[in-house]
Amino acid sequence: MVGGTAEDVAKVQPVFDALKPPAPTDESGQEVPGDAGFVHAGPVGAGHFSKMVHNGIEYALMQAYGEGYELLEAVDLIEDVPGVIKSWTQGTVIRSWLLDLLVRALEEDPSLERVRGYAEDSGEGRWTVEQAIENAVPMPTIAASLFARFSSRQEDSPTMKAVAALRNQFGGHAVRAVQQAEAERPA
């Protein structure tokens, strides 16, 4: 995804050709014609903007895979969570390179016990949401995935503390004390 004038892009096209991935092949192994992995997206800035939107979509896809993983892990019905996820890499509509990466992570650590549930945002999702707001484009899925990253950084969410306290105040719903929550937390 590059931006610039046609003349400027043409000058550096050999560099882009060297960097783009190999052309896809069909079932017989023949290369499919086209510019796989390359697009002259428009004027200066168009390549960067396109990549930003790409990364915002990536945030949402990772969030969806993570939520699916968590639900599979949460039920007693599924006995082989890594196997189920691996099965999705063949012939399903949700197969992708990101899913392949999740399979690899689960092969290395089947219960993800060595990974802390903390996800940084490197800016692209945030910028994508900011541009959506600036251009009045509804983007609830990408926005939710960005905010999920923010919540991953909290040990004990102040928002959820306020929600628990409010539920207790208006309906007498039980509130877990800090000591109780710590005692119930897995070691």
Helix and strand totals (H; E) in the chain: 8, 2
Question: Catalytic annotation on 58?
Answer: yes
CB proximity list for 100: less than 8 A, separation 6 or greater: 89
Burial degree of 51 (CB within 10 A; 0-12, 13-18, 19+) = middle
Residue corresponding to tokens 């905010």: 147
Residue 121 in tokens: 């945002």
Catalytic residue among 7, 20, 58, 184: 58
Of 51, 70, 108, 124, the catalytic one is 51
Asked if 20 is an active-site residue, the reply is no
The CA distance from 99 to 89, in Å, is 7
Q: Active-site positions?
A: 51, 58
